[in-house]
Homo-oligomer: A and B are copies of this chain.
Amino acid sequence: MSDTTKYFLTEDRMPKAWYNLAADLPGPVAPPVHPGTGQPMGPEDLAPLFPMGVLEQEVSQERWIDIPEPVREVYRLWRPSPLIRARRLEKALGTPAKIFFKYEGVSPAGSHKPNTAVAQAFYNQQEGITKLSTETGAGQWGSSLAFAGDIFGLEVEVYMVRISYNQKPYRRALMETYGATCIPSPSPNTAAGRAILEKDPDSNGSLGIAISEAVEIAASRDDTKYALGSVLNHVCLHQTVIGEEAMLQMEMADSEPDIVIGCCGGGSNFAGLAFPYMREKLKGKAIRFIGVEPTSCPTLTKGPMAYDFGDTGKLTPLMKMYTLGSGFMPPGTHAGGLRYHGMAPMVSSALEYGLMEARSYQQTECFTAAVQFARNEGIVPAPESSHAIKAVMDEALRCKAEGKAETILFNLSGHGHFDMQAYTDYFAGKMTDVPFDDAALQASLADLPKVAV
C-alpha cells in the first residue's frame, strides 16, 4: 500500500466529537461586546438571532463537544471526506516534499460549508424553529444552508447580493434545487432593503446590505433564526471534523504534517483543518501553520487586532479580531469567499498567540497554481482554495531548494465547477491583479469603533 493515493476512513471511524481550541489556547478568546455599552455580550443577548444550542457552543470552554447522531447521519452522505496524496504534483515540481490534501469538494454543495450548515440546521430544528434566513454573496454558503435546511425540514430564505443573483444563476438554481427561496437583495421584504431601494431602485446590493436584511427577518419573526457561514466560534468548531478526520487518515498514511495550510476568508476552513493540529502543537509538536489570503484583502497580514463590527452595516456586536475595518470594501476578485474585512476571533487569537503565520498572494499567481494543480491532479480548485495551493507550491519548492523532505497538508476547501468564469477570464488574459489600497485601509481603520475593554 506504499503507493496509495487516497485514504478513506470507514464511516464508523468518523469523529464523534468536534474539537474546541478555546479549551487549549494560552488565554481566553475575547468575548463579543455591545457596540453602545462596551459590555461583554452573552448567549442571552444573541438569542433572538441564534438557537441556544449554537450559542452555548459559541462560549463553551469544553475541549470536546459531541456531534449529535442526526448530524453524523447527514455527514455520512459525503463524510469522511478523502485525504489525497498529490503524487503527480510532487513529481511535476520535482520536490522531495510530500503533499497531502483533504478534499472537501465532495460535499453536496461542493465545499466545506455544509459541515456547519447541517449542524446549525439541526440545532434550530431541535428548538422548534421552522425557518432560517441568511445572506450569500457568490452562493457557496447559501446553497449549503439550502441543502441543510431541506434535510431538516426548515424553510430557508437566502438574501443574495443582487449583482451575484443576476450574474450567477447556476448557484441560484442549486439553492432552488434544494428547495430554498432565493431573494435578490436589496429587497422590498425588509425595512433595510426598502430604504436602499427608495434611494436607488437599481441598486446592485452588497454583502453588508444582504446581512442586514437576513438579520432583520430573523429578528422580527419568532419562527425564524439567522445562520452565519463563517467567522463565529461555533462555525470554526463544526469545521474541526475536517482536521480530526485528517489526523486519522494521516496515520493511515504513516505521516505527520510539518506544515498545515489553508486559505483564510472568514477563517472557518483554515480553522477546521488547523485547530486539531494546533492542539498537538500546544502539546509540543513542531508544526507550522500558514493562513493564506488575497493581497487585495489582507486581513491577517495588514490589519490590526481590534474590536470591530462583523458587518458593513454596523449592526452586529463588536468582535475582537484582525480587521481591515468594517468600512473597508475589498476590491472585486474571483475569490468571493475571501473578500471579508475581518477574521474569525479564534483564528485571530491563534495568530496573536504566535501559533500560525499568514501570507498573501495576488489572484493571477493563484490561478497559475490552480491550473498546474488541475493538470496534475485532475481536480479544478475553487478560486478561494487556489490561494492555499499557491502557498503549498511555494513551500514545496522551498523544500526542493533546501533538500528537505517535509510533509505538507492543506485543505482543498472546494471545487471550481461553479467558478469557471474565473478560469475563462484567466485564459483570456482578462484577469488583473488588484494592488492593495493602503489609503483605503487607513481611512477605514480611522473609523474603527472606540471600545475601552
Interface residues of A (CB under 8 A from B): 1, 4-6, 8, 10-12, 76-78, 88, 106-108, 110, 147, 150-151, 169-174, 176-179, 371, 374-375, 377-380, 417-418, 420-421, 423-424, 427
Contacts and interface: CB of A to CB of B under 8 A. Distances in A.
A173 B371 CA distance: 11
Grouping DSSP codes into helix (H, G, I), strand (E, B) and loop, the A interface class, with mixed when no group exceeds half, is helix
A166 B189 CA distance: 37
Contacts of A177: 371, 374-375, 380, 423, 427
Contacts of A173: 420-421, 423-424, 427
Contacts of A418: 417
Quick one: which of A107, A150, A170, A427 has the most chain B CB within 10 A?
A: A170
A428 B173 CA distance: 10
A417 B380 CA distance: 13
Contacts of A179: 375
A176 B423 contact: yes
A146 to B, nearest CB: 10
Contacts of A417: 110, 170, 174, 417-418
A10 B5 contact: no
Contacts of A4: 10-12
A32 to B, nearest CB: 33
A259 B178 CA distance: 28
B5 A12 contact: no
Contacts of A380: 108, 174, 177
Contacts of A76: 5-6
Contacts of A169: 420-421, 424
A162 to B, nearest CB: 17
A108 B380 CA distance: 7
Contacts of A88: 77, 151
A386 to B, nearest CB: 12
A418 B421 CA distance: 12
30 contacts: A1-B11, A4-B11, A4-B12, A5-B11, A5-B76, A5-B77, A77-B88, A77-B378, A78-B378, A88-B151, A106-B106, A107-B378, A108-B380, A110-B417, A150-B375, A169-B424, A170-B417, A170-B421, A170-B424, A172-B424, A173-B420, A174-B380, A174-B423, A176-B423, A177-B375, A177-B380, A177-B423, A177-B427, A417-B417, A417-B418
Chain B CB count within 10 A is highest, among A8, A107, A421, for: A8
A171 B420 CA distance: 8
A108 B420 contact: no
B108 A379 contact: yes
A225 to B, nearest CB: 21
Contact of A420 (B10, B12, B78, B174): B174
B11 A178 contact: no
A147 B10 CA distance: 30
Contact of A1 (B10, B174, B371, B377): B10
A6 B1 contact: no
A58 to B, nearest CB: 27
Contacts of A378: 77-78, 107-108, 147
A267 B241 CA distance: 40
Given A4-B12, A176-B427, A417-B418, 20 more contacts: A1-B12, A5-B11, A5-B76, A77-B88, A88-B151, A108-B378, A108-B379, A110-B417, A170-B421, A172-B424, A173-B420, A173-B421, A173-B427, A174-B423, A177-B371, A177-B374, A177-B380, A177-B427, A178-B374, A417-B417
A170 B425 CA distance: 11
Nearest to A77: B378
Contacts of A371: 177
A170 B377 CA distance: 19
Nearest to A380: B177
A420 B6 CA distance: 29
A175 B179 CA distance: 32
A204 B128 CA distance: 55
Nearest to A147: B378
Contacts of A1: 10-12
A397 B259 CA distance: 52
